[in-house]
Amino acid sequence: MTDVARLAGVSHQTVSRVLNDHPNVREQTRRRVQAAIAELGYRPNRAARVLVTGMSQVIGVVAQSSALYGPVSILNALAHAALQHGFTVSVESVRALDPQSISDAIGRHRDQRVAGLVVIAPVESANEALDAIPDDVPLVTIDGDPRRTAGLVTVDQEAGAYAATRHLLDAGHQTVWHVSGPADWFDSQGRVAGWQRAVAEAGAEVPPVMQADWLASSGYRAGQILARMTEVTAVFAANDHLALGILRALHERGKRVPADISVVGFDDVPEAAYLIPPLTTIRPDFAAVAAASIDLILEQVRGGQRLSERRILTPALVERDSVAPPAG
Amino acid sequence: MTDVARLAGVSHQTVSRVLNDHPNVREQTRRRVQAAIAELGYRPNRAARVLVTGMSQVIGVVAQSSALYGPVSILNALAHAALQHGFTVSVESVRALDPQSISDAIGRHRDQRVAGLVVIAPVESANEALDAIPDDVPLVTIDGDPRRTAGLVTVDQEAGAYAATRHLLDAGHQTVWHVSGPADWFDSQGRVAGWQRAVAEAGAEVPPVMQADWLASSGYRAGQILARMTEVTAVFAANDHLALGILRALHERGKRVPADISVVGFDDVPEAAYLIPPLTTIRPDFAAVAAASIDLILEQVRGGQRLSERRILTPALVERDSVAPPAG
DNA sequence: GAAGGTCATGTTATCGTTAACACATCTGCT
DNA sequence: AGCAGATGTGTTAACGATAACATGACCTTC
């Protein structure tokens, strides 16, 4: 920086002003400094800036490491959205969402002096660590506890589940079965709630929830059971991978989809359109979730205070070929 | 840090020595300092340390943002492997792997003073940006150009493809067709080469390559063509999602798998075992790729010089139900 | 034309850490 | 006892940026 200042014939402070777009610099001086920067290929030292300002241009993200489509899509979109505002994201992946792991990850972020924190906190056990974060750190949770008052961005799981179930009922099914994600995920809870509401509103009997995790393997196991029950004609799976496993189990036992049983998924993974049969599903807008999160966090960074605003995004139904009227 | 020093009754330099595990500190002093650190909840300021040492404990990773299973798995495993050595990874996701985007990402990493760089560089266009990196920056490329001499970690695409093709030939098929990934990916090129070698070695005719990308949609299109050609009895797909699309297209046109046509994929995504039928595929060890990369980069960080070592990992065949002898 | 502003720039102090060197105090050996 | 070398600790300077204040030049305004 000293070299740049010397070459441009100004003080280092003026260079700093040019770098930070301060208003009080003569146009001519600014150009001279910029030329010197370009000529020397100078790049500012972030660490020095962070040291003196006490804050980096980085958004810290905490997420569970997984290859699940939803979280991965959100992560990618977060990086992209942040970049458009001149920020970088730094992701701390945790193995499991226990309070200790989460607060370790948050600690590592705070050591880096991140400007704000985005935590993908889909389970209850995250709350404890979240509550321990000092109030002066901007915070947004994605898929977090709907009951918490902090900044929250999420897709409306209940509305999506309601739409999926409603779609099956509208096709003429008496009732709809549900294969759910892990019980401790808020996503699962919301989807169960939306499904129950739709079935109950239709005056139908609400079948018991079939508990699973998010993977095709557990969908397959649930499907094996569903295939044995002759009264089942419609299933809403909590995500597309579960649906994939169900499809396979039904196929194995000679149940045709959608002729014998209709299935709806959730997420609209890229493969959904190429399953046998193409899967009707619910599509959340992950890019919008990310954009809203970055928006909300930057508002807090600029304002210097916590915001407890919520942004809830409604997902859309994508119709394909896995739903038909019941056989009878 | 000054507070800690005062509480422990030592100088700040001694605190620094305790923090960095310097040998010349009396055991008793060390304990006193550690107690003070714990009592005050002191955490060192990374930025100050980076400023003075000129290097952070961060490994910079450059990857294309995508939800593809392979890259995502590697990313997660990299973070985990780095953490075990006290390092953090920082990922810069680029939209496309053009030279400009890559060198921007590398520039952002260097501004942060990363200790080393891991670039997932599966296409030729990455080379240009890679060559522009100064020699004193530790560098490892994953899935990079096999012809480059820099540190390289990759799975042996050719061996995997050879095993897949061999497996089909061993089942009795006259020849094997191949649906390939994008032509500019080294992964694709390696898989094509392995497939060709196996077919040629068996003295069979090598069919033309069917060009696709990595997505189920293009697998579906390729499958529609394959299904029309009565002589096709065995297909090796460059990845599992392609295979998924192929499976669907074959099913639609009344071709049974594996009775009429056998299919092998690549990657062993978690859903592979639950396709219709369960997919025989090649499983690369992504965790091992990540571990080798971190290993190799840390060796360079410690040694202070570039290493042009290569670590090539052989993937394994996973047999399921999508392969059978030809019908005739 | 003197007072008071604004504008453009420079000077100095500071952020929190590690490096380099200086200085005691021990240890073991002759 | 005396001295070399190890051991433990303190002092000072630096890393590269921004903040806060100081300064001088140029406008207004009455």
Which of A50, A72, A88 has the CB atom closest to B72's CB atom?
Answer: A72
Angstrom distance, B38 CA to C20 C1'? 29
Which 8-state DSSP code applies to residue A126? G
Tell me the angle at which helices B216-228 and B240-252 cross, rounded to the nearest 10 degrees.
Answer: 40
Q: Tell me the two tokens of residue A227.
A: 């295939």
Most confident of A130-139, A298-307, B197-206: B197-206
Q: Identify the band that residue B149 occupies on the pLDDT scale cut at 50, 70 and 90.
A: confident
pLDDT band at B148 (very low <50, low <70, confident <90, very high): confident
Q: Do B276 and A80 touch (CB under 8 A)?
A: no
How far is the C-alpha of A273 from the C-alpha of A267, rounded, in Å?
A: 12
| Strand A88-94 relative to strand B210-211, pairing | unpaired
Task: Give strand pairing partners of A40.
Answer: none
Instruction: Report percent pLDDT > 90 for chain B.
Output: 87
For the cut 80, the answer to whether the pLDDT of residue B309 exceeds it is yes
* Per-residue pLDDT reduced to its tens digit, A66-114: 889 999 999 999 999 999 999 999 999 999 999 999 999 999 999 999 9
Nearest to A216 among B48, B91, B271 (CB): B271
**What's the confidence (pLDDT) of residue B88?**
92
Work out the percent of chain A whose per-residue pLDDT is above 70: 100
B277: preceding bond cis by omega (within 30 degrees) = yes
How far apart CA B299 and CA B284 sit, in angstroms, is 24
Using DSSP, state whether A67 is helix, strand or coil.
Answer: coil
| A272: DSSP letter | G
Distance, Å, A98 CA → D22 C1'? 54
Percent with pLDDT over 90 in chain A: 87
Name the band, by pLDDT with cuts 50, 70 and 90, for residue B313. very high
CB < 8 Å to B217, chain A: 270, 273-274
Q: Is A150's pLDDT higher than 90?
A: no
Residue B256 is predicted with a pLDDT of 97
A303-312, B62-71, B88-97, B202-211: which is most confident? B202-211
Question: What pLDDT is attached to residue A257?
Answer: 96
Cα(A1)–Cα(A6) distance, integer angstroms? 9
What pLDDT was estimated at residue A23? 85
Find the distance separating the first CA and the last CA of chain B, reported in whole Å. Answer: 79
- How many angstroms away from the CA of B172 is the closest CA of chain A? 26
CB atoms inside a 10 Å sphere around CB B48:
15
At B304, the pLDDT band (50, 70, 90 cuts) reads confident
Give pLDDT, residue A1. 83
How far apart (Å, rounded) are the C-alpha atoms in residues B169 and A154?
50
Query: Cα(first)–Cα(last) distance of chain A, in Å?
Result: 79
A86-to-A17, A81, B64 alpha-carbon distances in Å? 18, 9, 19
In A95-215, where do the E strands start and end? Answer: 116-120, 139-142, 151-155, 177-180, 210-211
The closest of A245, A301, A310, A293 to A118, measured between CA atoms, is A293
- Average pLDDT value for residue range B123-131: 92
- Tell me the backbone φ, ψ of residue A188, rounded to 5 degrees: -60, -45
Contact across the interface for B91 and A92, Cβ inside 8 Å: no
Q: Which chain A residues are Cβ-neighbours of B56 within 8 angstroms? A: 47
Q: To 5 degrees, how large is the angle CA A289–CA A293–CA A297?
A: 175
State whether residue B255 is helix, strand or coil. coil
Of B254, B261, B296, nearest to B280 by C-alpha is B261
The two counts, helices (H) then strands (E), for chain B are 12, 12
Which chain A residues touch B48 with a CB distance below 8 Å? Answer: 47, 51
8 Å CB contact between B133 and B159: no
- Averaged pLDDT, A314-319: 98
Mean pLDDT lowest among B88-92, B175-179, B207-211, B302-306 = B302-306
- pLDDT confidence band for B182 (50 / 70 / 90): very high
Q: Would the pLDDT of A328 be above 80? A: no
Residue numbers in A near B57 (CB within 8 A): none
Cα–Cα distance between B126 and B62 in angstroms, integer? 11
From the Cβ of A2, is strand C under 7 Å away? Answer: no
Q: Would the CA dihedral through A8, A14, A20, A21 be positive or negative?
A: negative
- Indicate yes or no: strand D within 7 A of the C-beta of B11: yes
Strands (E), chain A: 58-64, 88-94, 116-120, 139-142, 151-155, 177-180, 210-211, 234-237, 262-264, 281-283, 310-313, 316-318
- What pLDDT is stored for residue B235 in this prediction? 98
Using DSSP bridges, classify how beta strands A310-313 and B210-211 pair: parallel, antiparallel or unpaired.
unpaired
Q: How far apart are CA B27 and CA B18, in angstroms?
A: 10
Read off the pLDDT of each residue in B214-222 and give the average, rounded to a whole number: 97
> Tokens standing for B315?
């993937």
Strand D nucleotides within 7 Å of a protein CB: 7-12, 14-20
DSSP state, residue B273: G
* Residue A279, min C-alpha distance to chain B (Å): 12
A13 contact to strand C (CB, 7 A limit): yes
Residue B212 buriedness (CB in 10 A; 0-12 / 13-18 / 19+)? buried
B57 C-beta less than 7 Å away from strand C: no
Residue A225 in tokens: 């059971």
Instruction: Yes or no: say if A92 and B80 are a contact pair by the CB < 8 Å rule.
Output: no
Q: How many helices (H) and strands (E) does chain A have?
A: 12, 12
Interface test with A, best of B42, B55, B59, B76 (most A CBs within 10 A): B76
pLDDT in tens, B89-100: 999 999 999 999
**Residue tagged 């990299």 (tokens):** B78
pLDDT (0 to 100) of residue A326: 96
**Average pLDDT, rounded, for chain A:** 94
State whether B113 and A69 contact (CB < 8 Å).
Answer: no
Residue B319 CA to residue B12 CA, distance in Å, equals 61
Sign for the CA dihedral angle at B126, B128, B132, B135 comes to positive
pLDDT of A55 over the 80 cut: yes
Chain A window 276-315: which residues touch B at a Cβ cutoff of 8 Å? Answer: 276, 278
Strand C, CB < 7 A, residues 21-40 of A: 23-26, 28-30
Indicate whether B305 pLDDT > 90: no
Sort strands B262-264 and B234-237 into parallel, antiparallel or unpaired.
parallel
CB–CB of B92 and A90 under 8 A?
no
pLDDT in tens, A1-30: 888 888 888 999 999 999 998 888 899 999
Angle at A162 between CA A263 and CA A143, to 5 degrees: 100
A247/B contact by beta carbon, under 8 A: yes
Instruction: Provide the 3-class DSSP secondary structure of residue B17.
Output: helix
* B270–A241 CB contact, under 8 Å: yes
Give tens-digit pLDDT for A153-162.
Answer: 999 999 999 9
Q: Nearest chain B Cα to A44, which residue?
A: B111
Is omega for the bond preceding A258 within 30 degrees of 0, making it cis?
Answer: yes
For residues B14-34, average pLDDT: 90
Best B43, B256, B274 member to test A by mutation, with max A CBs in 10 Å, is B274
A224-A238-A245 Cα angle (round to 5): 35
Query: In the 8-state DSSP scheme, what is residue B56?
Result: -
| pLDDT of residue A149 exceeding 80 | no
Q: Using alpha carbons only, give the angle B69, B71, B75 rounded to the nearest 5 degrees.
A: 115
Taking only the tens place, the pLDDT of each residue in A267-289 is: 999 999 999 999 999 999 999 99
Q: In this structure, is the CB of residue B25 within 7 Å of any atom belonging to strand D?
A: yes
Is A113 in CB contact (< 8 Å) with chain B?
A: yes
User: Is the CB of B44 less than 7 A from some atom of nucleic acid strand C?
Assistant: yes
Distance CA B310, CA B326 (A): 39
Nucleotide nearest to B1 (CA to C1'): C16
**Min Cα separation B14/chain A (Å):** 21
Pairs of CB atoms within 8 A across A/B = 124
Q: Please, are residues B235 and B255 in contact by the beta-carbon 8 Å criterion?
A: no
Burial A298-321 (b: 16+ CB within 10 A, else e): bbbbeeeebeeebbebebeebebe
Q: For B45-72, write each residue's pLDDT tens digit.
A: 999 999 999 999 999 999 999 889 999 9
Strands of A101-188, DSSP E:
116-120, 139-142, 151-155, 177-180
Q: Contact at 8 Å (CB) between A315 and A264?
A: no
State whether A51 and B56 contact (CB < 8 Å): no
Query: Is B275 part of the contact surface with chain A (CB cutoff 8 Å)?
Result: yes
Calpha distance B275→B285 (Å, rounded): 21
